Structure 1
Amino acid sequence: MKAVFMTDRGKVRLHNEDNGGIFMNSHGQRLAIVADGMGGHRAGDVASDMTIKHLKVLWETSAKIQTAEEAENWLEESVLQVNHKIYEHSLKNTECEGMGTTIVAAICTNLFATVVNIGDSRCYLLNESGFKQLTEDHSLVNELVRSGQISKEDAEHHPRKNVLLRALGTEESVEMDVKTIIFEEEDVLLLCSDGLSNKVSQEEMESIITDKEMSFEDKAAEFIKRANQYGGEDNITLAIVEYQEFNEGR
Structure 2
Amino acid sequence: MQASSLAVRWAALSDIGLQRARNEDAFLVVPERSYAVLSDGMGGHRGGDVAARIVIDTVRDELCRRPVGSGAEASASALRAAVLAANDAVLAAAAEDRGLTGMGATVVAASLCADGLVFANVGDSRLYRYREGRLEQLTHDHTMLQELVDGGMISPEQALRTPFRGMLTRALGVEPEVLVDVRQTDLRPGDMLLMCSDGLTDMVDDDEIAVMLAAGGDVDDRAAALVAYANAGGGRDNITVVLAAVADDEAVADVGG
Unpaired runs of 5+ in structure 2?
A: 1-7, 251-257
Counterpart in the other structure of 1:100: 104
Moved more, 194-203 or 38-47: 38-47
- What are the Cα deviations for residues 84-105 of structure 1, in whole angstroms up to 9, with x where unaligned? 1111111221111111101111
Counterpart in the other structure of 2:217: 214
TM-score, structure 2 as length reference: 0.89
CA distance in 2, matches of 1:147, 1:76: 27
Q: Using a 3 Å threshold, how does the CA distance of structure 1 residues 218 and 39 change in structure 2: closer, same or farther? A: closer
Counterpart in the other structure of 1:196: 200
Name the % identity: 34
Deviation at 1:143, TM superposition (A): 0.5
CA distance in 2, matches of 1:20, 1:86: 16
Counterpart in the other structure of 2:161: 157
Contact 1:104/1:122 (<8 A) preserved: yes
Unpaired runs of 5+ in structure 1?
A: none
Whether 2:39 is the aligned partner of 1:35: answer yes
Moved more, 48-57 or 38-47: 38-47
Deviation at 1:111, TM superposition (A): 3.8
Q: Using a 3 Å threshold, how does the CA distance of structure 1 residues 74 and 154 change in structure 2: closer, same or farther? A: same
CA RMSD of aligned residues (A): 1.8
Counterpart in the other structure of 1:237: 240
Contact 1:102/1:117 (<8 A) preserved: yes
TM-score, structure 1 as length reference: 0.92
- What are the Cα deviations for residues 149-190 of structure 1, in whole angstroms up to 9, with x where unaligned? 112222123242211000011110100111111112121110
Contact 1:110/1:183 (<8 A) preserved: no
Deviation at 1:41, TM superposition (A): 5.8
Letter matched to residue 242 of structure 1: A
- What are the Cα deviations for residues 37-88 of structure 1, in whole angstroms up to 9, with x where unaligned? 0155640000000111122233344435321111110011111111111111
Letter matched to residue 174 of structure 1: V
Counterpart in the other structure of 2:19: 12
Whether 2:81 is the aligned partner of 1:74: answer no
Letter matched to residue 73 of structure 1: S
Deviation at 1:115, TM superposition (A): 0.9
Secondary structure of 1:2's aligned partner: strand
Letter matched to residue 71 of structure 2: T
**Consecutive aligned runs of 4 or more in structure 1 exceeding 4 Å deviation:** none
Counterpart in the other structure of 1:136: 140
Whether 2:131 is the aligned partner of 1:124: answer no
Secondary structure of 1:16's aligned partner: coil
Secondary structure of 1:34's aligned partner: strand
Counterpart in the other structure of 1:114: 118
- What are the Cα deviations for residues 116-144 of structure 1, in whole angstroms up to 9, with x where unaligned? 11111111111247221111110001110
CA distance in 2, matches of 1:171, 1:246: 43
Moved more, 58-67 or 15-24: 58-67
CA distance in 1, matches of 2:96, 2:20: 27
Letter matched to residue 71 of structure 1: S
Counterpart in the other structure of 1:22: 29
Secondary structure of 1:38's aligned partner: coil
